[in-house]
A = this chain, B = another copy of it.
Amino acid sequence: MRRWNGWGDEAQDYPLNEVARGFLRERVGQGSANRDASLESVLAGVAPSRLANGPFLTDAASRAQHARGQSYPDWLALRYGKLGPVADAVALPTSSEEAEAALAAALKLGAVVIPYGGGTSVVGHLDVPVSDRPVVNIALGRYNKLRELDERQWIARFDAGTPGPLVEAQLRERGFLLGHFPQSYEYSTVGGWVVTRSSGQQSLRYGRIEQLFHGGRLATPRGVFNIGGLPASSAGPDLREALMGSEGRLGLLTEVSVRLRRLPTHEDFHAVFFPTWDLGCEAVRHLAQADLGLSLLRLSNEVETETQLALAGHEKLIAWLRRYLKVRKVGEQPVMLLVGTTGNHREVLRLKREALAICKQFRGVNTGRAIGKGWAKNRFRGPYLRNSLWELGYGADTVETCVGWNNATATMRAIEEAARSLFAAENEKVHCFTHLSHVYRQGCSVYSTFVFRAGGDYERDLERWTRLKRRLSETIVAHGGTISHQHGVGRDHAPYLAQEKGELGMDLIRAMAREFDPQGQMNPGKLFA
């Protein structure tokens, strides 16, 4: 059963032992456990629907269930029972025809439509606007089948609502794999990946969604638009690229064709430690530019390395590691690089040899596969940590960007410094740490996590987060970074998009949306105001 006010399945958690708790107390302060609002009280507060007696579900539970995503404001709203605006109705189509019929019916009612995939947005893609018009969620959670698999052309067509595990399970049976593994993988959907221009943990091998999205069927207010479906073309602008990142503004994506790989037979993740951030960062740049064909490069900075080891709470392993790194002269503040090698047996051996040779030039010390195995096992469990933290009285959020190599370190330091100092006047500490996890020949993503004390006061928590988000977004934009490398724009990042795209670029995006959706009924307020 999925949690209604937190991340993931209720049967799964991310326990923190005393070592981990002590670390948090030291870095952030003593938290105090939060008391959450009950689901009953939340449902009791849901306003009457303006679309009663229509073709859609209008019960409070269905509407509340689709009202929020996983942004920090969403989180606070759910935990404090301050749900805010809720859609008037929910459609749960199980086929392309039903989805298109739901869209047509909603538009005919003059409603605003919010497409809802897995509900994992962390930037407000699902925010329900306060509107004179009624609001309908078209939720694709029951629309999740593999419809066609071309084993000769390596193309699969999925229902847009298919979440990660169902994508891979349906492909695995036939010996194929998509390879798109965002941290939200358990719930996020193939359609959501496309419209938010998503990127998975192993994009280094498998590509971003841009490289995986073959074509699709988009239901727009002006009719159905079939898009893409060719291996390559020079015939005019690539309209798949207009759809990717359109965040619902162009229509409702109902079918998605993707480009596949054969299932690899071997995969390893090696943990390599470097004495300093600068050495690790240079190693990663050289690895990225060597273009070996690795499947993962993920460099944690000093604090993230330390934090990961502490939160894992595995004292013996840590002690062994510290001794080993001391012997190998890596020093007291190591940074950790995970190196993913995927393919057949021979490829994996070759990739390991070539990657470690480059690491060695930068004094990297390989500690083998034990840590990497743990990472792989828990790769989608990160978000569960947020539940555990909250129960201990801590909030957590992340920001991320992508910059050129010349800016990576400065951007990271500026983000962390801004966060650490922001609440000093209030005597509140922010624990923050960063990794680079998506690398390109020209630059890399920068992904920072923040942990701070929270709980007890909705207004105060939201105000602090708002200040933090604004400060960090301004810092990112000031360093020439994109406002998002992998989370998208939604409502939270919309104020910063123009600085990246330019006013003419914003005009171009608005012109496209207007062309398909002249009445502005498709997910208004997201991507641009």
Contacts and interface: CB of A to CB of B under 8 A. Distances in A.
Interface in A424-483: 438, 440-445, 481-483
B514 A511 contact: yes
A245 B289 CA distance: 28
A83 to B, nearest CB: 27
Interface string A178-219: 000000000000000000111100000000101000100000
A232 interface: yes
For A226, A441, A489, A497, the residue with the greatest tally of chain B CB atoms inside 10 Å of its CB is A441
For A226, A241, A260, A516, the residue with the greatest tally of chain B CB atoms inside 10 Å of its CB is A241
A399 to B, nearest CB: 13
A41 interface: no
Nearest to A203: B232
A153 B404 contact: yes
A338 interface: no
A237 B484 CA distance: 12
A236 B232 contact: no
A99 interface: no
A518 B483 CA distance: 30
Interface stretch (A137-145, A380-388, A498-506): A498-506
Interface string A214-229: 1000001011011100
A238 B233 contact: no
B502 A226 contact: yes
Contacts of A485: 232-234
A525 interface: no
A487 interface: yes
B230 A443 contact: yes
A226 to B, nearest CB: 6
A234 B198 contact: yes
A32 B515 CA distance: 54
A486 interface: yes
A180 to B, nearest CB: 13
A239 B488 CA distance: 15
A293 B440 CA distance: 17
A352 to B, nearest CB: 15
Contacts of A509: 236-237, 239
A488 B154 contact: no
Interface string A378-417: 0000000000000000000000001111100000000000
A482 B242 contact: no
A444 to B, nearest CB: 7
Given A222-B504, A225-B502, A508-B512, A406 B233 contact: no
Contacts of A261: 291, 441
Given A289-B154, A515-B511, A196 B234 contact: yes
A150 B241 CA distance: 27
A497 B262 CA distance: 33
A259 interface: yes
B237 A246 contact: yes
Contact of A500 (B155, B210, B233, B293): B233
Nearest to A260: B441
A247 interface: yes
A527 interface: yes
A343 to B, nearest CB: 10
A148 interface: no
Contact of A238 (B231, B245, B247, B259): B245
Contacts of A245: 234-238
A405 B512 CA distance: 32
A239 B516 CA distance: 18
29 contacts: A152-B285, A153-B442, A153-B443, A155-B404, A155-B442, A197-B235, A197-B238, A208-B232, A210-B238, A230-B402, A230-B403, A232-B438, A233-B484, A233-B500, A234-B487, A235-B482, A235-B493, A236-B246, A236-B247, A237-B243, A237-B244, A238-B244, A239-B508, A241-B241, A242-B508, A259-B441, A504-B516, A507-B516, A511-B512
Given A199-B234, A220-B504, 15 more contacts: A197-B233, A197-B235, A225-B502, A225-B504, A227-B502, A232-B482, A233-B484, A234-B245, A234-B482, A235-B483, A235-B489, A235-B497, A236-B527, A241-B241, A262-B289
